[in-house]
């Protein structure tokens, strides 16, 4: 019998509040897991940015990556460590850097998901380069944007094919608004997507490993109110639909942590935005839902580290396409996709692991989120985001919502 330490690395950018809470709660858990006759301890450490060699050792067993979707040095470090050192990382970096919204729409349409009709259009303007004008002269064809819009139907949305955080998204009601929006779109490559109107629900389903949180989402509200605090607002069968949809998307692309936005119309959920790997993790956005995220992150990262989970660099899309190509109802196809996704996330093994090794997490976390550590983490994040004259009010707002979570959802959530 040996004592083994598994180390979880936190690859961070401007993150403030969630790593403070993650690290402190992990220390409070003080885990000594009995696995295979060994005692396994779990530590965490923040990953530094520094030069590295191709065959350099890696001290981490798992890395929670919040940086490589935009910071290339860390992206290449992570890809190198996966290839050379068998590091496990949230999320697959090759998939993360290559799967834009357009790609995800195409893939899930192939599987039969009810993705609204979507077109890609060339940019209105281009950044100059040596080969640009010969290319455009020979191959760029004039097109009737108004006709495309009329064909899709209004309302529709114009949005960057690779965007996030609602940047560059325009709701369009008619042909003239479409032409005006395109004229103002600059060098961005844009998607046009049919609006799901009217709709009676907008939900963001957050998936972290095989754990899911259903959030009533209001994109028109200020940032601190977009994630509504509603609970039990969906029937169980619809929660299951959103869970299945999100899990299949995440498994398909090799993403451990992602969110899926979907609109409900006439009882059908239409996924409209689901290339959100590394979604918002800050208390200033999540507030009431923030403790759930910390707990889910701990469960999945501890499970991956303690069990030596292997990184799956090949995505096995043909397994999904083989189901998609069968002449069977979509419900049967979805059951097949869910079976593949459940296997990818080792759902049964994960649930057994949590029941055996982390049964105290709920109780410890409920007490932890009443501590000065959490209040201080909220204060640091608010101070970094809000002007001084608003800091105190927003600290107390987010703190009160975390306490509301403790009262309503803390134990067993």
Q: Which of 136, 163, 194 is the last residue of a domain?
A: 194
Amino acid 165: pLDDT: 63
Amino acid 266: pLDDT: 95
Write out the residue range of the structural domain in which residue 319 sits.
Answer: 201-409
Residues 181 and 270 in one domain: no
In a domain, 103, yes or no: no
Closest by CA position to 253, among listed 397, 94, 85, 75: 94
In a domain, 110, yes or no: no
Residues 51 and 124 in one domain: no
Low-confidence ranges of the chain (pLDDT < 70): 164-166, 411-413
CA–CA distance, 33 with 166 (Å, rounded to integer)? 42
Closest by CA position to 253, among listed 317, 308, 210, 208: 317
- pTM of the entire predicted model: 0.93
Helices (H), 204-282: 236-253
Residue recorded with tokens 């009533």: 216
Residues 167 and 217 in one domain: no
CATH code (residue 140)? 3.30.1490.20
CA–CA distance, 229 with 271 (Å, rounded to integer)? 21
Amino acid 413: pLDDT: 56
CATH code (residue 41)? 3.40.50
In a domain, 267, yes or no: yes
Residues 167 and 229 in one domain: no
Residues 233 and 358 in one domain: yes
Residue recorded with tokens 């936005």: 261
Residue recorded with tokens 């990382």: 89
Residues 167 and 234 in one domain: no
Residues 297 and 372 in one domain: yes
Amino acid 100: pLDDT: 81
Amino acid 295: pLDDT: 98
Q: Which of 162, 194, 226 is the last residue of a domain?
A: 194
Residues 399 and 338 in one domain: yes
pLDDT in tens, 240-274: 999 999 999 999 999 999 999 999 999 999 999 99
Residues 386 and 263 in one domain: yes
In a domain, 347, yes or no: yes
Q: Provide CB contacts within 8 A for 149, sequence distance 6+.
A: 156, 172, 175, 178, 192
Residues 219 and 364 in one domain: yes
Residues 288 and 327 in one domain: yes
Q: Give me the sheet containing 3-11, strands edge to edge.
A: 33-35, 38-46, 3-11, 62-65, 88-90
Residues 374 and 277 in one domain: yes
In a domain, 54, yes or no: yes
Q: How many domains does the chain have?
A: 3
In a domain, 51, yes or no: yes
Amino acid 158: pLDDT: 94
Amino acid 286: pLDDT: 97
Q: Which of 56, 71, 98 is the last residue of a domain?
A: 98
Amino acid 37: pLDDT: 87
In a domain, 104, yes or no: no
Amino acid 212: pLDDT: 98
């Amino acid at each position: 019998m040996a004592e083994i330490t598994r180390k979880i690395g936190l690859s961070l950018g401007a993150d403030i509040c969630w790593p403070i809470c993650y690290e402190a709660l992990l220390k409070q858990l003080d885990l000594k897991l009995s696995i295979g006759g060994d005692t396994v301890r779990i530590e965490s450490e923040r990953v530094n940015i520094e030069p590295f060699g191709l065959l350099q050792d890696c001290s981490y067993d798992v890395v929670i990556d919040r940086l490589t979707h935009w910071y290339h040095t860390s992206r290449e470090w992570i890809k190198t460590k996966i290839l050379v050192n068998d590091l496990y990382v949230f999320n697959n970096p090759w998939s993360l850097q290559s799967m834009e919204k357009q790609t995800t729409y195409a893939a899930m349409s192939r599987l039969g998901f009810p993705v609204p009709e979507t077109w890609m259009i060339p940019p209105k303007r281009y950044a100059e380069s040596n080969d640009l004008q010969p290319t455009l002269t020979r191959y760029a064809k004039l097109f009737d944007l108004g006709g495309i819009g009329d064909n899709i139907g209004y309302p529709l949305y114009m949005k960057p094919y690779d965007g996030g955080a609602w940047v560059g998204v325009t709701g369009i009601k008619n042909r003239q608004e479409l032409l005006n929006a395109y004229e103002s779109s600059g060098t961005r490559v844009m998607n046009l997507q049919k609006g799901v109107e009217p709709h009676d629900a907008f939900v963001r389903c957050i998936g972290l490993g095989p754990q899911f949180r259903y959030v009533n989402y209001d994109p028109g509200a200020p940032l601190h109110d977009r994630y509504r605090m509603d609970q039990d607002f969906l029937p169980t069968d619809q929660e299951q639909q959103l869970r299945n949809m999100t899990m299949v998307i995440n498994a398909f692309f090799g993403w451990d942590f992602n969110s899926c936005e979907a609109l409900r119309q006439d009882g059908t959920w239409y996924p409209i935005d689901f290339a959100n790997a590394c979604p918002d993790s800050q208390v200033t956005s999540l507030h009431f839902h923030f403790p759930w995220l910390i707990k889910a992150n701990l469960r999945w990262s501890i499970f991956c580290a303690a069990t030596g989970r292997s990184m799956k660099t090949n995505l096995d899309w043909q397994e999904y396409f083989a189901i998609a190509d069968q002449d069977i109802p979509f419900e049967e196809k979805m059951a097949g996709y869910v079976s593949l996704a459940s296997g990818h996330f080792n759902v049964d093994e994960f649930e057994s692991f949590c029941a055996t090794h982390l049964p105290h997490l709920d109780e410890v976390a409920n007490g932890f989120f009443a501590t000065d550590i959490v209040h201080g983490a909220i204060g640091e994040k608010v101070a970094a985001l809000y002007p001084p004259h608003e800091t105190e009010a927003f600290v107390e707002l987010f703190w009160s919502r975390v306490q509301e979570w403790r009262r309503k959802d803390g134990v067993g959530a």
